[in-house]
Structure 1
Amino acid sequence: MNTVRRSIAFSVIEKYLAQILLVATTMVMARILTPAETGLYMTANAVIMLADNFRTFGVGVYIIQEKQIERSVVQSAFTLTLFFSLTMGAIIYCGAGWLATFYDAPQLRTLLVVAALGFLAIPFSSPVMALLQRELAFNVIAGINVAAALVAFAITVTLGLAGFGPVSYAWGFVGASFTIAALATAVRRNFWIFRVSFARTRELLSFGTVSSLITVSNIAYDMLPRLAFGKMLGFDAVGLYARALTVCQLPDRAVVSALHPVVLPAFAAQARAGDSLKAYYLHGLSLITAVQWPALIMLCLLADPVVDILLGAQWGAVPPLVRFIALANMALAPAALTFPVLVAAGRVHDALRASLTSLPPSFLILIVAALHSLDAVAASMLVVAPLQMLIAYRYVSPVIGLGWAELARAGRHSAALAMGTAFVPVIIVALSPTGFDLGWLQTMAAVAGGAAGWGIVLAFVDHPLKREIVGIWISLSAWVWRRNAAASRL
């Protein structure tokens, strides 16, 4: 448990630093690029993300969950990663012109061709990063990822200010990819990893087919609407929708993304030890909702000032979208745990069935809503998100013996935290003559009141987060003390 807590602590530190850089990049670029230019980049990004997630082919997940790791496994993983990375890069490069013609956007070709260069670096980082995750070496992972985020920030913002436009993001992606590859190789120095081997490719392909279908179906659900909206509603709509999602994903990036790299290795370790996964699932759900729900409530209430601060005046159509999506995302808190718990329990096929059951109807609902308006798309998330949660529960419940009453008990204190957080901001919004469009002083008062409400409720309820904060502090203090003691003996 101390190892897991320390891993979570380093992962949180990494994600918060990366999140600060992401927010800084977004704030700068939102004032340089128009919504249409942003939508153009987001369309290219959707293509890159789809290709990148197919490229992974479950190789990293296989390394993390495998009981015994031999050199032949890692070398075969590198071989498959190299093949799929080069293949995806070549497909993007060759298809860039066709996509640019389809969208009648010549700039799209340049974006895709530049981004395809990043696939040359990925094979030399992917297996190494998976090994580091398996070993819960999140202090090393944090250093690598923060360095890559700094490189991406520096390149993107510098080129953006120099007038390069949307392609600035693509060069930032390429710079970050090569930074991760160089640092991962330098840290590990196990050059035997990069030897081509086909010894275990059959096992990897068998597992990877299912795992990659899950990953690609989930990322396709996230990215295909952007591709469809680009044709149906125009790049302006893509830019507005993507920026609304970016704002609503801030709590997810700060909380779930910090836990996500640790969750699967931790679940896999518990499964190998023969421990019950239900207790860890409920514990993880309590920790996620303790921060995510209050943050989403605050986003819903303060969407106007948050968008104005982050994006600027030209994004005035985003706050109504944010309010719908933020409320809907509250239902998706268990989603981050569905795949890890099913894979750790040896039920990867159930994870695939859950994705294939929930995502096609969800995508159809979004497309039908897009026939009406972008606001209708955001409102449809209030139907889509609960639907996905119910389907996920249907598959997780029998695997770990989870009941609705246990799920409700795990979330009741987090619900109290969310209500405590919302109390003061709701009063301020209700009394404001301009409604949601709060001024600076009102916004600061709402943020302070929300934070105070969250802290007061946390002090009075028996929430697992309170124990984890103490446990993480003790684990980190002990780790620092041991490092200092070791250094003093040298």
Structure 2
Amino acid sequence: MIGLRRALLFSVTERYVALTLNFVTVATLARLLTPEEFGYSVIGAAAIGFAECLRDFGTSGFLVQTRVATRHASRTAFTVMLMLTLMVAATLWAAAGPIAGFYEKEGLTAYLHVIAFGLLMGPFAAPPLALLRRDMQFKAVAIINISSAVSIALVTVSLAVMGASYMSFAWGILAGATVTAVLAVLSHGDMRIFRPSVAEWRAVLSFGGYSSAAGMFWKLQEFAPSLIIGRLMDFGAVGLFSRAVMVCQLPDKCLLNGLMPVALPALANEARAGRSLASAYLTATAYITAVQWPSLLLLACLAHPAVLILLGGQWVSIVPLVQIISLGLLACFPTVLAYPLLAAAGGIRHAMIAALFGLVTSVSLALFASQWGLTGLAFGMVATVSLQACLSLYLIRLYAPFRLGELARALRRSAVAAAASGAVPAAAVALNGFDFAFSIPEGIAIGIGAVIAWIAAIRWSGHALAAEIDLVVEMAGRAGRMLREDIRARNEIRARGAAASGSRAEGT
């Protein structure tokens, strides 16, 4: 448990630092670039997301979940990824022109060429990072990812200020990929894993085929609405919708993203030890919903000041989209741990089926709902999330059986915390004449009140998260005392040194 908490601490710290950097970057770029320029970055991000899924081919997940990660397995994973990366990068480079022509945006060609070059760094970064995660070495992983995030932020913002427009995103991604690869190689240290080998190709391809397909389907689902908007509407609409989704994903990125890198190694360890995955899933889901549900309710009520803080006044038209999507995401809690649990339990084929179902549903509903504009697409996204949550819950119970009554009991304290914290912004909206247009100071004040109500509800309901909050407070207090003692000791040393210097001066 201590090792898991330590891993979570480093993972959460990494994610918060990266999120802060991303917040500063997005807030700055939102004031430097137009929605259309952001549209370029969304299409480019979709291309790199698909390319990443193809070239990774599930090799990272294979190294994390396999029972014994031999050197031959690591070398085979590197070899498979290297071969696929060369093919994918070449294909993306050649397809850059046709893709730009499809969207009638010539500037996409150069953007995708830079992205294709950046893919070449992946085979030297992913296997070492996967092995570090498998060994729960999340301190090293955090240092690598934070360094990469700093590089991306500095390069992207600097180039945008200098007038590089949407190309600043591409060069930032290339800088981050290079830094990640260099630091991953240096941190792992064993250069022998980069010797080509196909000794365990059957095991790698067996897991990787399903995992890669699942990753590709998830990426297609994630970007399907934006790709459809880019073709049926315009790049300005792509920028608006993508920023609305980004704001809605902020609670998960703030509160849950630190969990995901640790989830697969931790669940894989549970499976290898023969312990109950159902118990681990229910406990983790109780923790997740205790922070996810209140934050989404708060965002739905404070969407206006949240958009003002993150993006600026020129983006307030996306506030209704943010409210629709954030409320819809309340139903997505079963999917948060679906992939790591299925992968750890040997159900990677079912994870692929769930991803395919989500893709088909997303595309179908997006095409149908696009006739009602961005609002229709937002409701289509909500419907997709709800249907996928139902399927994920069904598949999870195949590999980690539990009754729905057990799930309800695990979630009831989270529901109490969500209701108590959500009552604060709901009351503020009612007192404001049911107007959501709060100022930034008002939004901050309401948010603080909601957090206080949430802490009180967590303690009153006896939620298991209360013990973790107490532990964090205790650790923070201990760190504060150590810092004060260190400062006091240094001041005493300086004082003694100054006194001794004064005595010597008087004697002279």
TM-score, structure 1 normalization: 0.95
> Deviations 1:233-284 (Å, cap 9, x if unpaired)?
1111110110011101111112221100100100000110000001110111
CA distance in structure 1 between the partners assigned to 2:403 and 2:229 by the alignment: 39
Give the aligned partner of residue 232 of structure 2.
Answer: 232
Distance 1:348 1:479, change over 3 A: farther
Question: How far apart, CA to CA, are the structure 1 residues paired with 2:207 and 2:476?
Answer: 36
Q: How many Å apart are 1:90 and its aligned residue?
A: 1.1
Query: Is structure 2 residue 77 aligned with structure 1 residue 64?
Result: no
1:426-450 Cα distance to aligned partner (Å, 9 max, x none): 1111121470011234223211211
Q: Distance in 2 between matches of 1:50 and 1:476?
A: 41
Distance 1:148 1:477 in 2: 31
Q: Distance in 2 between matches of 1:148 and 1:165?
A: 21
- Match of residue 381 from structure 1: 381
Report the alpha carbon displacement of residue 478 of structure 1 after superposing the two structures with TM. 11
Give the whole-Å Cα distance in 1 for the aligned partners of 2:9 and 2:175: 27
Q: Tell me what 2:272 maps to.
A: 272
1:370-417 deviation digits (Å, cap 9, x = unpaired): 122111111223322211111111111122112211111121111111
Measure how far apart 1:8 and its partner are: 0.8
- Is the deviation greater in 317-326 or in 401-410? 401-410
- Other-structure match for 1:290: 290
Distance verdict in 2 for CA 1:473–1:7, change over 3 Å: farther
- Asked if structure 1 preserves the Cα contact closer than 8 Å seen for 2:218 and 2:358, the reply is no
Q: For residues 185-236 of structure 1, what are the alpha-carbon distances to aligned partners after superposition, in whole Å with 9 as ceiling and x for unaligned?
A: 1112111111111111222111110111111111111112221210011111
SS at match of 2:337: helix
Instruction: Provide the residue aligned with 1:396 in structure 2.
Output: 396
Change (3 A) 1:400 1:451: same
- 1:275 alignment partner, SS class: coil
* Higher RCO (CA 8 Å, separation ≥ 6 residues): 1
* Equivalences, count: 481
Structure with bigger gyration radius: 2
1: CA distance, partners of 2:472 / 2:30 = 36
Partner of 2:190: 190
Give the structure 1 partner of residue 410 of structure 2.
410
Distance 2:287 2:258 in 1: 12
- Mapped to 2, the partners of 1:401 and 1:371 lie a distance apart of 41
Written as runs of structure 1 = structure 2, the 5 A alignment for 1:32-43 is: 32-43=32-43
CA contact (8 A) 1:76 1:196 kept: yes
Give the AA of the match of 2:336: A
Could you tell me which residue of structure 2 aligns to residue 27 of structure 1?
Answer: 27
Aligned residue for 1:385, secondary structure, equals helix
SS in 1 for 2:165: coil
Instruction: State how 1:130-209 maps to structure 2 within 5 Å.
Output: 130-209=130-209
The C-alpha deviation readout for 1:159-189, integer Å capped at 9, x for no partner, is 0111100111111111110101111111121
**Gapped runs of 5+ residues in structure 1?**
481-490
CA distance in 1: counterparts of 2:244 and 2:365, whole angstroms: 18
With the length of structure 2 as denominator, give the TM-score of the two structures.
Answer: 0.91
Structure-2 separation of matches of 1:305 and 1:36: 23
Task: Give the unaligned 5+ runs of structure 2.
Answer: 481-508
**Are the counterparts in 1 of residues 362 and 380 from structure 2 also a CA contact under 8 Å?**
no
* 1:346 to 1:111, Cα distance in 2 relative to 1, 3 A: same
> Which residue does the alignment assign to 2:18?
18
Amino acid at match of 1:310: L
CA distance, structure 2, for counterparts of residue 85 and residue 476 of structure 1 = 44
The alignment-based identity, stated in percent, is 36
Once residues 21 and 298 of structure 2 are traced to their aligned partners in structure 1, the CA distance between those partners, rounded to angstroms, is: 21
2:216 corresponds to which residue?
A: 216
Q: Tell me the residue number matched to 2:429.
A: 429
Matches of 2:17 and 2:179, distance apart in 1: 17
The whole-number CA distance in structure 2 between the counterparts of 1:434 and 1:400 is: 44
Contact 1:6 1:475 in 2 (8 A): no
Aligned to 2:326: 326
CA–CA separation in structure 2 for the residues paired with 1:139 and 1:478: 21
Q: Which residue of 2 is the match for residue 257 of structure 1?
A: 257
Tell me the residue number matched to 1:488: none
Q: Does residue 44 of structure 1 match 2:35? A: no
TM-fit CA distance, 1:471 = 5.2
Q: Contact 1:63/1:130 (CA < 8 Å) preserved in 2? A: yes
Q: Summarize the Cα distance change of 1:476–1:134 in structure 2 as closer, same or farther, 3 Å threshold.
A: farther
For 1:340-489, list aligned pairs within 5 A.
340-433=340-433, 435-470=435-470
Structure-2 change in CA distance of 1:201 and 1:409 (3 Å): same
- How many Å separate the matches in 1 of 2:13 and 2:405? 34
Is contact 1:144-1:184 (8 Å) kept? Answer: yes
Kept in 2, the 8 Å contact 1:14–1:143? The answer is yes
What code does the residue aligned with 1:405 have?
Answer: G
User: By how many angstroms is 1:474 displaced?
Assistant: 7.5
User: Are the equivalent residues in 2 in contact too, given 1:342–1:399 (CA < 8 A)?
Assistant: yes
For the Cα contact (< 8 Å) 1:85–1:123, is it kept in 2? yes
Superimposed CA distance per residue, residues 23-49 of structure 1 (whole angstroms, 9 cap, x where no aligned partner) = 110000011111111112111111111
